[in-house]
Structure 1
Amino acid sequence: MSDYNKLVIFDCDGTLVDGQHLIIDAMDLCFERQGLTPPERSASRSIIGLSLEEAMAVLIPNHDARFYRHMAEEYKNAFLDLRAENGDPIEPLYEGTLETLRELDAAGYLLAVATGKSMRGLKRVLASHEISNLFVSLQTADTHPSKPHPSMIQTAIMEAGSHTDQTIMVGDTSYDMLMAKSASVGAVGVNWGYHDEAFLHENGANTVLSLYSDLPKTVKSMIG
């Protein structure tokens, strides 16, 4: 597989940045505006990573597709309103994120993102931390089925000129691990996000990390 580029794909919220507070607040506001009781915050946290329509289907079962599309649009409106109200806050990078991305890039690995965020939202986050240039492929819910469908990983592999044997998915949720397994790539969980370590292992993680600084050696051991 030496003819293929080595690729490390990252989830965004819960893996690169901690965006849970704005996401959960926007979910609360969305539900309130629709006259619905907001979900428990733990429930809102658990669906981070899914596309919006899929997330709404988990939070409010037994409705039709039209209802979920409506709720997804209302969530987007609530999110944008809260962002404007709070002065466009920047979701913080987790400790060690920037240093690790730079180390992997310097070592010759190609980097990508696969996220349930919109492309607009992802580009805003990456630009706010001045790390857009580190990624060769950006895959979002705008143009793909929701995780854990493998489409985002498959497209990133194609765009990066990589191969399943030379690719790793890094994420904080079971959806990331299941997506990795569905795409037949390595699955590295991180325990600083929104699903606990045991759940990551149960859903296919090859390993779960506690520190970003351990990622480069883990990547090297898995794909060289």
Structure 2
Amino acid sequence: MPQKQFDLIVFDWDGTLMDSTAHITRSIQASCRDLGLPVPDDQSASYVIGLGLRDALMIAAPTLDPADYPKLVERYRVHYLTGDPTIELFAGARDLLENLRSAGYLLAVATGKSRVGLDRALNAVDLVDMFDVTRCADETFSKPHPQMLNEVMDVVGQTRERTVMIGDTTHDLQMAQNAGTAGIAVTYGAHPEESLLEFSPRFCAHSVAELDAWLGSNG
């Protein structure tokens, strides 16, 4: 078996492990519609996925008075929580995590979700005990600021040279660059492959199976 490149593997959540990109996009669009705002198209709405909710909605609704951001946040949460109840992990994601855990890796999540939102999701898919540490956008700086990733590394005592960030957005890969870690892109989430490749990821996976295979051989 080849020597490991990494000890700590950090995952984004939405669009990387959880198949929630379309639902988030629709929830952003519906919340803008509720307030009579210009409704962003699919590409614009999905671009902000991965950012902290307030940052994301500021970009998605640039004409909104900052005093009304709480209204937009409230409408987004209503649509997200009352929308499609069948959101689940991407096929193979649970096996991927179990394989990595069995191989001795430290596992983490760094996400634009709130702590309440991530805890709800982890409980829903029974993965609460899978990760050594998790960080959310309402606990620290939002991506692509490196602080979220730096805090994850500090908690488990790992160096940037032995850490890799895996995500489906340019925000994830830019955070990895800013923190000095390796980055791996997945193309089945929010951002297109050509945008992800601009950040020179160590690998670009087109499916969870490809990611699992690469990490098994190269991680």
What's the offset of the Cα at 1:95?
1.9
What letter matches 2:191 in structure 1? H
Q: Which of the numbers 144, 163, 167 marks the counterpart of 1:167? A: 163
| Deviates further, 48-57 or 163-172 | 48-57
Matched, 1:9 2:10: yes
Within a 5 Å distance, the mapping from 1:177-216 to structure 2 comes to 177-216=173-212
What's the offset of the Cα at 1:65?
4.3
- Contact 2:37–2:63 under 8 Å retained in 1: no
What secondary structure is seen at the aligned counterpart in 1 of 2:129?
Answer: helix
- Contact 1:181–1:204 under 8 Å retained in 2: no
Distance 1:68 1:203 in 2: 31
- Contact 1:9–1:111 under 8 Å retained in 2: yes
Distance 1:145 1:73 in 2: 21
State percent identity of aligned pairs: 34
Provide TM-score, normalisation by structure 2.
0.88
Give CA deviations for 1:74-132 in whole Å, capped at 9, x if unaligned. Answer: 3223333x24xx5xx14221122111100100010010001111111111212111112
- Contact 2:32–2:61 under 8 Å retained in 1: no
The match for 1:118 is 114
- Contact 1:47–1:58 under 8 Å retained in 2: yes
What secondary structure is seen at the aligned counterpart in 2 of 1:134?
Answer: coil
- Contact 1:170–1:189 under 8 Å retained in 2: yes
CA RMSD of aligned residues (A): 2.1
Distance 1:39 1:210 in 2: 26
The match for 1:156 is 152
What letter matches 1:16 in structure 2? L
4+ residue runs of structure 1 moved beyond 3 angstroms?
62-70, 213-222
Distance 2:99 2:18 in 1: 18
What's the offset of the Cα at 1:32?
2.1
Structure 1 unaligned blocks of 5 or more: none
- Contact 1:190–1:209 under 8 Å retained in 2: yes
Within a 5 Å distance, the mapping from 1:20-59 to structure 2 comes to 20-59=21-60
Distance 1:10 1:165 in 2: 16
- Contact 1:201–1:207 under 8 Å retained in 2: no
Structure 2 unaligned blocks of 5 or more: 1-5
Distance 1:142 1:58 in 2: 17
Q: 1:105 to 1:57 in 2, by over 3 A?
A: same
What's the offset of the Cα at 1:200?
0.6
- Contact 1:90–1:125 under 8 Å retained in 2: no
Provide TM-score, normalisation by structure 1.
0.86
What secondary structure is seen at the aligned counterpart in 2 of 1:169?
Answer: strand
Distance 2:187 2:46 in 1: 14
